[in-house]
Structure 1
Amino acid sequence: MAFLCRFLARLFADRAGNVLAIVGAGMIPLAMMIGSGIDISRAYMAKSRMQSACDAASLAARRVMRNDTFTSEVDRTGKEFFAFNYPAGIYGTEAFTPVITKPQAGVVRVTAASRIPTAVMNLFGFRTLPVEVSCNASLNFVNTDIVLVLDVTGSMNDTVGGSVKIQALRDAVLALYDELAPVQAQLRAQGQRLRYSIVPYSSTVNVGRLLYAQNPSYLRTNTTVPSRVANFNQPVYAANSPTRSEGWQIYNGTLTSSDCQTYVGQSEQAGGGPAPTPTTVTRYFGNSAGNGFSQSRNWGWSGAPDTSNTYRSCRRWRVVETTTYETRYSHSNWTYRQVSFDVSNYIKPSGSLTFATSAVGTVPTAGSYNAQQLAAIGSGTSTAQSVWNGCIEERDTTTSIDGGSSLSIPSAAKDLNINLIPSDDSSRWRPMVPDLLFTRNVGSTSDNHNGGATDTTLWIKNNSYSSGYWACPDEARRLAEWDRSTLNAYLQKLAPVGGTYHDIGMIWGARFASTRGVFADACETYAGMPCNRHVIFMTDGAQTAYCGVYSAYGVERNDMRVMGSTNCSSDSQTNSVTANLLSRHEQRFRMACNATKNLGASVWVIGFDTSLNSNLINCATNAGQADTATNRDALIAKFRAIGNKIGALRLTQ
């Protein structure tokens, strides 16, 4: 023992070769440190890659989850995205299957756990390292306003893929509602809201009753349209009830009894005239009771001037009926021109406008009378009542929008000024008055026509007569929190009618989505939270423009509001699309789209059974928000997809 102690003491004192020993002893922990760094780094990279795959999987799975329902599609999509971003076996990862669940409303959770083999630490008994990830994804909604601008033109009555297009549209809107119903319930529970507005459009929109309810002064009380006046210049004489004067007439001299009898029985006499000079009828009787000759009363009567001898005084009872005449005037011909009508009662709830349906009868004063005036003063004229359906003509515009590329709205284009509050007739809307409409030759200011007084057809061209065309879609609805049954009842009433004027649809979509203007229904914030606004524009056809159709801009062939003095070309006097007019309406559509986006609303465009031209594609906020659907199922899918995209998809864990 003493020897061992001395040996160790000498060894401790002898420092030769110590470095080698120390290095040898330090290699083991150094190897462990380096090895753990390598393996932990690999584990970190694996987890980072796995976390990215988890995030992508949860976002993708949440994106396809509809009606807040967890389905096999949600599970499959999540796993496919996870596998794409984290291939099996990468980093030597042991086989595993991610778990996808719905832990709470609106949330998709993805979890995954595996192990990766070690490369160095395996020498020290650590064969694998754990790798675990978890993530949640949800659609983040705040107050949301959705304005549906829906093409309900006549072609929506066509069939595509075995389904009537208008019914497919109804189903698609309900699918959008169902997609967002859970969101609506969540927002309501949080004191927030999700609202819908619907603007059916064709060649005009039905918003007049909404405007009147908001403020009656937003509508004109008079309007001027292509119509006609009845000219009454032919004098006719209407007899007044005759006046009667009567009394004894004594013969100047004396007569025999027989001559007196002849005198009393003298025949009726007519005098005066011709009309309008008064006429008379004189009749003679034996006395005021109308009896015949009576000698004691008519010849030598008691108290007569001469009562004796063969010749005596003679008298008779004379009745004179005098007829005076009123000069009146009958119909001569028609003049077709712009005519002003008083619509102050017409625009009222339960109001109407009385108008003459013909020019039969007479008027008291020669002149020209529109149908409303004639109904008020005409005698013998048949009349009818016109009741407003709520469709409007746009307020004043300008003809300077000639189809160019500028998106700057001229100050005179009050129709395109989304937020302008009416202050005079130029900025007020007109009610449509189809019952009073009569068109005339293109470009003319006035045309005469010698048709009969009962002529009630529209004068279209070259003295030929045919019916003009106009359409009125169903009434629009302002932003509101709809329930499904009310929405379905409204959608079922939508009826296809009219031609496709995209500009008027988008103009009113913008007005309903605006935070200012005549309705100011949309919001920037509500209940202390921001508001998102979306306009979904759906159409099944291209823009049209007709010279002879009564649209939101009147009848272009005569009103000339869009083209002005250039007017419609001579080969476009009927209801055919005119290229020059079309380009102007397309430019208005582009301006309206730009104005909508400038309001801060996000615009989505869907073409149903139709391709999208550059105007429609560019109307959307971005190219990804413009798409087409070829059949009912595809249309429903598009509406659902929009519902699934309008929220802010985000990771919550």
Structure 2
Amino acid sequence: MIFGKIRRPAERKGLLARLARDARGNTLAIVAAAMIPLTAMIGSGIDMSRAYMAKTRLQSACDAAALAGRRVMQDDTVDSNVTDTATRFLNFNFPQNLYQTTAFSPNITKPESGTVHIDVRTRMPTTIMRMFGFSSLPLNVSCDASLNFVNTDIMLVLDVTGSMAQDVNGHSTSVAANQKISALRDAVLALYDELKPIQDQLEANHLRLRYGIVPYSSTVNVGSLIRSVDSSYLASSVSYQTRVANYTNPNYSQTDSPEQTLADESSNQSRSSRCTSWANDTVTTGTPPATTTTDTYTYASYNSSNGTCVRHHKRHTTTYTLENYGFQNYTQQASTYDTSQYKLGNTVRIATNTNGHVPTSQSFNLQQLASVSGVSTTNSSWNGCIEERSTVSTITSSSGFNIPTDAYDLNVNFIPNSDATRWRPMWPDIEYRTTTSQPSTACPVEAKRLQAWTRTAMQSYVNSLQPGGNTYHDIGMIWGARLISNGGIFADSTDSYNGMPVSRHIIFMTDGIMEPSTSVYSAYGVESLDKRITGGTTSQQTARHTQRFRMICNAAKTLNASIWVIGFGVSLSDELKECASNASQASTVADRDALIARFRQIGSQIGALRLTQ
């Protein structure tokens, strides 16, 4: 039985040879074999592209989170506020499950002082590569943010007017801890503490962080600062509104001549009673200081037979000699005082009463009167507060920002070269607005030039701040700008130090609106009498001071100073908002804690934020 054809080995060998020689059909096998690596290559490209886009976005979100966290960092501490803020920014810019990533939580740390570091680790699922055993890809990013501190100069311009003795609701309080001035002291120290680690870092690298302080009210206390540079920048002769003692009341000595007995006199009188009336008489001729003669007549006799009446006659002569003049009255007027010793801090005698006499009729101011014999005196010495140098009374609300050339008070860099351009020491002891009334005056604590501070020194200084006086924002900003300028008589804030640039900042804090007065003694004298700002248009006083404040704020910005404005318990007026370098640097705080927090926040933002990795 035959079941089929049996192939011999030689026949099988021939088949395989023919197949080997025949290339038809090989392409399919090759393509099939190549699909596996080709799919892996294309899939990896797609998945890697998605992973690259996801990681790029995650890195950007990390950077934003680090910057946000560093911006709110205080006391060089990564606290819940830092972690919450950074996490919020991270999730906003890279939401959970974006690109189907796994849940993640950032690890936020402080690797070194002043730096916020963030690590983010998540995984993103693959699409095609999972066929080859790769179900997900890792996405790991990290970032750092720090404040780019360079040499930093900070000028604190602090309102210490009378309202700072009140509480935040504007009520008088005898509890010192509830007064706004107490909150201000704590806020300044909070700023110091916020920046102390940075100060230490800068000093370790031969750079510096310094503070200057200008307490202001109706004037500023800068006398010793000016004098330490050059006492000739202070005027040696100043006209003050004062009272003048007029010594115009003459005093005479008198010399009485011996009484003379003259011949009796007679007269015919019709009866005895008329004789008596005629005979008894006194007649004086001349008035002092002219020589006076007094004739005295007394009854002698009466002859009734012929009506003859006889009287005795005696004469008394008094001669007057002018000896000196005594005090007549006071008049209120401007008078020139010698301030050459007063400005140096030496005591100067002034009169306290009007006793004594002078040889000639004349008038004396209180300094001149002190040299009159018999007049009581007291020693008067300067407290350091100043009257500003000459200005103009033509600045109005429509004057714009160009400072007139002869408004020397607003030109912070002008170096004195004449009496008009010199500052004048305030002299409250001799200032009078009427013959009997002295104007109210307030002198803040002495301002401080830019310097490095210890915490103890800062604490001691802010504890010395005392409230008093009216609100003159312009004088505060004038001296804040003057003391942080790179020019003028101080030139303290140079553009670079040890080869690194200097960042300038003015922090201006007030608890009130502009509130000048025509009757107080301020940096511009007594306005009702001196008229330096208003020119006599006293109803425009506030508006003109406000325009001057706008001018000096604009001038401060040209000094490359970044200005921060804080309203403490008061809404900021337009000019205060405009004074800040930008809207985010003008703020209002309602209470002590908010004021402290704002000062800390400014400290945390006062450098330039930058990514360091």
Query: Normalising by the residue count of structure 2, what TM-score does the alignment of the two structures yield?
Result: 0.84
1:276–1:326 CA contact under 8 A, matched in 2? no
> Structure 1 CA distance, aligned partners of 2:208 and 2:168?
36
Distance apart, 1:103 and its partner CA? 1.4
Residue deviations 1:20-76, cap 9 Å, x none?
A: 444333332222222111111121122112212221222222222212123233333
Q: Does 1:594 align with 2:554?
A: yes
Match of 1:339 among 335, 340, 345: 335
Residue 373 (structure 2) aligns with: 379
Q: Does 1:618 align with 2:612?
A: no
1:392–1:430 CA contact under 8 A, matched in 2? yes
Distance apart, 1:326 and its partner CA? 6.8
Residue 581 (structure 1) aligns with: 541
1:276–1:327 CA contact under 8 A, matched in 2? no
Tell me: CA distance 1:238–1:536, structure 2 relative to 1, closer, same or farther (3 Å). farther
Residue deviations 1:127-154, cap 9 Å, x none?
A: 1111111111111111000000000000
Tell me: CA distance 1:359–1:8, structure 2 relative to 1, closer, same or farther (3 Å). farther
Residue 514 (structure 1) aligns with: 485
Residue 290 (structure 1) aligns with: none
Q: Does 1:87 align with 2:95?
A: yes
Q: Does 1:203 align with 2:182?
A: no
Secondary structure in 2 aligned to 1:552? coil
Distance apart, 1:405 and its partner CA? 4.7
Residue 105 (structure 1) aligns with: 113
Distance apart, 1:501 and its partner CA? 0.2
2:512–2:570 CA contact under 8 A, matched in 1? yes
Name stretches of at least 5 consecutive residues in structure 2 with no aligned partner: 1-8, 170-176, 256-287, 292-318
Residue 436 (structure 2) aligns with: 457
Q: Does 1:155 align with 2:163?
A: yes
Percent of residue pairs bearing the same amino acid type: 55
Q: Partner amino acid for 2:541?
A: L
2:395–2:548 CA contact under 8 A, matched in 1? yes
Give the alignment of 1:262-281 within 5 angstroms.
Answer: none
2:240–2:336 CA contact under 8 A, matched in 1? yes
Name stretches of at least 5 consecutive residues in structure 1 with no aligned partner: 241-273, 278-322, 441-455, 459-466, 569-577
2:250–2:322 CA contact under 8 A, matched in 1? no
Residue 605 (structure 1) aligns with: 565
Residue deviations 1:72-128, cap 9 Å, x none?
A: 333333223222222222212122322111112222211122221111111122111
Distance apart, 1:526 and its partner CA? 0.4
> Structure 1 CA distance, aligned partners of 2:471 and 2:511?
9
Residue 183 (structure 1) aligns with: 198
Secondary structure in 2 aligned to 1:406? coil
> Structure 2 CA distance, aligned partners of 1:559 and 1:513?
30
> Structure 2 CA distance, aligned partners of 1:66 and 1:638?
11
Residue 328 (structure 1) aligns with: 324
Distance apart, 1:561 and its partner CA? 0.8
Distance apart, 1:360 and its partner CA? 2.6
Distance apart, 1:18 and its partner CA? 4.3
2:96–2:103 CA contact under 8 A, matched in 1? yes
Residue deviations 1:268-321, cap 9 Å, x none?
A: xxxxxx9899xxxxxxxxxxxxxxxxxxxxxxxxxxxxxxxxxxxxxxxxxxxx
Secondary structure in 1 aligned to 2:453? coil
> Structure 2 CA distance, aligned partners of 1:221 and 1:395?
13
Q: Which moved more, 1:135-144 or 1:169-178?
A: 135-144
Q: Does 1:388 align with 2:387?
A: no
1:397–1:561 CA contact under 8 A, matched in 2? yes
Tell me: CA distance 1:57–1:354, structure 2 relative to 1, closer, same or farther (3 Å). same
Q: Does 1:544 align with 2:481?
A: no
Give the alignment of 1:159-308 within 5 angstroms.
Answer: 159-160=167-168, 163-237=178-252
> Structure 2 CA distance, aligned partners of 1:405 and 1:17?
96
2:75–2:194 CA contact under 8 A, matched in 1? yes
Secondary structure in 1 aligned to 2:344? coil
Residue 406 (structure 1) aligns with: 400
Residue 303 (structure 2) aligns with: none
> Structure 1 CA distance, aligned partners of 2:248 and 2:452?
60
Residue 555 (structure 1) aligns with: 526
Q: Partner amino acid for 2:336?
A: S
Q: Partner amino acid for 1:60?
A: A
Residue deviations 1:566-618, cap 9 Å, x none?
A: 343xxxxxxxxx4x111110010001100100011110000000000110000
Q: Does 1:66 align with 2:60?
A: no
Secondary structure in 2 aligned to 1:554? coil
| Aligned structure 1 segments of 4 or more residues deviating by more than 6 angstroms | 274-277, 323-326
> Structure 1 CA distance, aligned partners of 2:78 and 2:558?
38
Secondary structure in 1 aligned to 2:370? helix
> Structure 2 CA distance, aligned partners of 1:173 and 1:428?
32
Q: Which moved more, 1:363-372 or 1:15-24?
A: 15-24
Secondary structure in 2 aligned to 1:204? coil
Tell me: CA distance 1:275–1:556, structure 2 relative to 1, closer, same or farther (3 Å). closer
Secondary structure in 2 aligned to 1:398? coil
Q: Partner amino acid for 1:122?
A: R
Q: Partner amino acid for 1:49?
A: R
2:252–2:320 CA contact under 8 A, matched in 1? no
Tell me: CA distance 1:78–1:567, structure 2 relative to 1, closer, same or farther (3 Å). closer
Query: Normalising by the residue count of structure 1, what TM-score does the alignment of the two structures yield?
Result: 0.79
Tell me: CA distance 1:544–1:2, structure 2 relative to 1, closer, same or farther (3 Å). farther
Tell me: CA distance 1:411–1:329, structure 2 relative to 1, closer, same or farther (3 Å). same
Residue 306 (structure 2) aligns with: none
Match of 2:456 among 458, 476, 485: 485
Distance apart, 1:19 and its partner CA? 4.0
> Structure 2 CA distance, aligned partners of 1:171 and 1:239?
73
Distance apart, 1:436 and its partner CA? 1.0
Q: Does 1:141 align with 2:149?
A: yes
> Structure 1 CA distance, aligned partners of 2:13 and 2:154?
94
Q: Does 1:358 align with 2:353?
A: yes
